[in-house]
Amino acid sequence: MIFFDIDTQIDFMVPSGALYVPGAESVQATIGQLLELAGRKGVATISTRCAHTPDDVEFSMFPPHCIEGSPGAARLFAALPLLKRHEIGADAEAKEGAQILPGTHYVVSKRVFDLFSNQWLAGLREAGAFRDEECVIFGVATDYCVRACVLGLAAAGARLLIVTDAIAGVAPATTNEALSEFRAMGVGMTTAAELITRLTD
């Protein structure tokens, strides 16, 4: 099992953030619980984060956010999960033999909303690291980065589980469309409480 903690950064998660995702504040606590669970149970976790430069192309699509080095780019739960941590830079290259190890936290930076724009992560995917792996996805935004994660992992043959009370979307219409799309793809849906019970019993 691998947790995908998508873009849970100050600029998206906190109402005063540069690109606040409506409703994100109400899932903060749940996301914190999942990250604590990962630490307690040694679940490999990939936390993605936008790490932009002021002139990144993504700012033609979205307002400026998560400028690397600014407070808004920091992860909301910067200290979680309590696991051995690896930082993967936005410019990291695909690495032969790379793998996702249990009990390890990978913080993967990116300059485009699709996490697989990070070549280290794309390389792992191409090498089959996520094939048949149960991937549990939460974070923001349902209709953009979470969706890119779902589509990218589905194409890689992963088994997907969305934590429905630990996600939030930018706009209701596109968020509902994304959720319908996930269901049509056969993506599993769970709640944080169900997952915590399952991993704790």
Provide the binding-site residues for Zn ion, judged by CB under 5 A: 50
Nearer to Zn ion, 74 or 129 (CB): 74
Nearer to Zn ion, 119 or 190 (CB): 119
The CB-of-58 to Zn ion minimum distance in angstroms stands at 5
The CB-of-126 to Zn ion minimum distance in angstroms stands at 23
The CB-of-71 to Zn ion minimum distance in angstroms stands at 16
Residue nearest to Zn ion (CB): 50
Nearer to Zn ion, 144 or 182 (CB): 144
Nearer to Zn ion, 31 or 50 (CB): 50
Nearer to Zn ion, 104 or 142 (CB): 142
Question: Mapped to the 3 state alphabet, what secondary structure does the chain carry?
Answer: CEEEEECCEHHHHCCCCCCCCCCHHHHHHHHHHHHHHHHHHCCEEEEEEECECCCCHHHHCCCCCCECCCHHHCECCCCCCCCEEEEECCCCCCCCCCCCCCCEEEEEEECCCCHHHCHHHHHHHHCCCCCCCEEEEEEECCCCHHHHHHHHHHHCCCEEEEEEEEEECCCHHHHHHHHHHHHHCCCEEECHHHHHHHHHC
The CB-of-38 to Zn ion minimum distance in angstroms stands at 23
The CB-of-66 to Zn ion minimum distance in angstroms stands at 5
